[in-house]
Amino acid sequence: MYAQMVKSTGEGVKTLDEMAPEERAFQEKVDQDIRIEPRDWMPEGYRKTLIRQIGQHAHSEIVGQLPEGNWITRAPTLERKMILLAKVQDEAGHGLYLYSAAETLGVSRDEMTEMLLSGKMKYSSIFNYPTLTWADIGAVGWLVDGAAIMNQVPLQRTSYGPYSRAMVRICKEESFHQRQGYDIMMKMAQGSEAQKRMAQDALNRFWYPSLMMFGPSDANSVHSEQSLAWKIKINTNDELRQKFVDQTVPQAEYLGLSVPDDTLAWNEDKGGYDYSEPDWDEFFDVLKGAGPANHDRLDARKQAWDDGAWVRDGLLAHSEKKHGAKVAAE
């Protein structure tokens, strides 16, 4: 998912009896699935946690343009090129919806951008992996958008109104992305030896990073407990990861590709697959900046922001002039 390791207050979840009247009224609304809107009273911790979570999600959409944008100029057919361009354009649109949702909580898009560029806010670890062959574009759609959907579908029911509405719009598009990615994988898996090799290699490289998208087990985390109580998190990381594995393994089989996990086996009792955990040391290294593409990603975003300063200033100056002229004429 696009928001990993989001910290909440760090304190335990209060019972209704321990809450002041305002907070109690708030929590009761959440419990009854009544949406919280920007003007409603909310605990400071709820607001801050949401900003972190929505902001991280927004940044992920934006940084996520880069690994896929990497193949637009090299896409193999006009149709594939257009599909990919439209997809990356969708992701930018998702970023826009999410920044708007976060802005209702009292933080501006520019402030969030500055925090991304200074490293104070994060984006999903998955986008710190490179796209090396065309099959990677298939794998990203299939696995990365697939994992994002796992997380985002339940979030359509999240307690914060603007976030929930953004998720509804986003989910519609994400399912297209996943199908398009799978379609690329299908063509590759049924293609020449070289294409099959690319497809298998893409799965090998993206499998564990995709599992990492859900974050480490949070069964006993105080942050998660609080987020679950506030309904800004709907499932635990392990639940979602399990669902993802169960959905994806048969899809890989259908493609004739093998999931790079020797321990993978159907477990009749739990009605799901047993699978190997990703290397969590690698995950924490990537979060800290040591992934193969961290430096390139942030560098690209910084350069876009810095090089674009004169454009933003110019357009702002122009609209102020126009506005000034209008006011003077009145």
Partner 1 sequence: MADALFETLLRLGDNTLILGHRVSEWCGHAPVLEEDIALANTALDLLGQTSLWLEYAGEIEGAGRSADDLAFLRDAWDFHNVLLVELPNGDFGQTVMRQYLFDQFNLMNLRALTGSTDNRIAEIAEKAVKEAAYHVDRSRGTVVGLGDGTAESHERMQAALNILWPYALELFITDDTDADMAKAGVIPDPKTLEADYRATIEATLAEATLTLPDAHFGHRGSGKDGRMHTEHLGHILTQMQWLQRAYPGQAW
Question: Interface with Fe ion by CB under 5 A: which residues?
Answer: 61, 91, 94, 145, 174, 177
Q: Which is nearer to Fe ion, 213 or 286 (CB)?
A: 213
CA distance linking residue 53 with residue 227, whole number of Å = 10
For the bound state, the minimum distance from the C-beta of residue 10 to Fe ion, rounded and expressed in Å, comes to 29
CA distance linking residue 53 with residue 51, whole number of Å = 5
13 contact choice in partner 1, Fe ion, none (CB below 5 to 8 Å, kind-dependent) = none
Cβ atoms of residues 201 and 169 within 8 Å? no
For the bound state, the minimum distance from the C-beta of residue 23 to Fe ion, rounded and expressed in Å, comes to 33
CA distance linking residue 257 with residue 249, whole number of Å = 9
Q: Which is nearer to partner 1, 289 or 314 (CB)?
A: 314
Q: Which is nearer to partner 1, 6 or 58 (CB)?
A: 58
Tell which positions 40-99 bind partner 1, by CB under 8 A.
Answer: 62, 65-66, 69, 72-82, 85-86, 88-89, 92-93, 95-96, 99
Phi and psi, residue 223, nearest 5°: -60, -45
| Tokens at 253, concatenated | 């089989």
For the bound state, the minimum distance from the C-beta of residue 143 to Fe ion, rounded and expressed in Å, comes to 11
Angle (nearest 5°) at CA 140 between 51 and 126 = 45
Q: Which is nearer to partner 1, 13 or 186 (CB)?
A: 186
For the bound state, the minimum distance from the C-beta of residue 55 to partner 1, rounded and expressed in Å, comes to 14
CA distance linking residue 116 with residue 66, whole number of Å = 15
Provide the mask over 287-326, with x wherever binding to partner 1 is found by CB under 8 A and - wherever it is not.
-------------x--xxx-xxxxxxxxxxxxx-x-----
174 contact choice in partner 1, Fe ion, none (CB below 5 to 8 Å, kind-dependent) = Fe ion
Sign of the dihedral defined by the CA atoms of residues 296, 302, 305, 306, in that order: negative
Going by C-alpha positions, the residue among 192, 205, 196 that lies closest to residue 257 is 196
- Residues binding partner 1: what is the number (CB under 8 A)? 51
Phi and psi, residue 222, nearest 5°: -65, -35
Long-range contacts of 285-291 (CB under 8 A, 24+ apart): 286/125, 286/128, 286/212, 287/4, 287/5, 287/122, 287/125, 289/119, 291/125, 291/128, 291/129
92 contact choice in partner 1, Fe ion, none (CB below 5 to 8 Å, kind-dependent) = partner 1
Tell which positions 109-128 bind partner 1, by CB under 8 A.
Answer: 109
Tell which positions 179-208 bind partner 1, by CB under 8 A.
Answer: 184, 187-188, 191-192, 194-195
For the bound state, the minimum distance from the C-beta of residue 243 to partner 1, rounded and expressed in Å, comes to 30
145 contact choice in Fe ion, partner 1, none (CB below 5 to 8 Å, kind-dependent) = Fe ion
Residues that bind partner 1 (CB under 8 A): 62, 65-66, 69, 72-82, 85-86, 88-89, 92-93, 95-96, 99, 109, 134, 184, 187-188, 191-192, 194-195, 300, 303-305, 307-319, 321
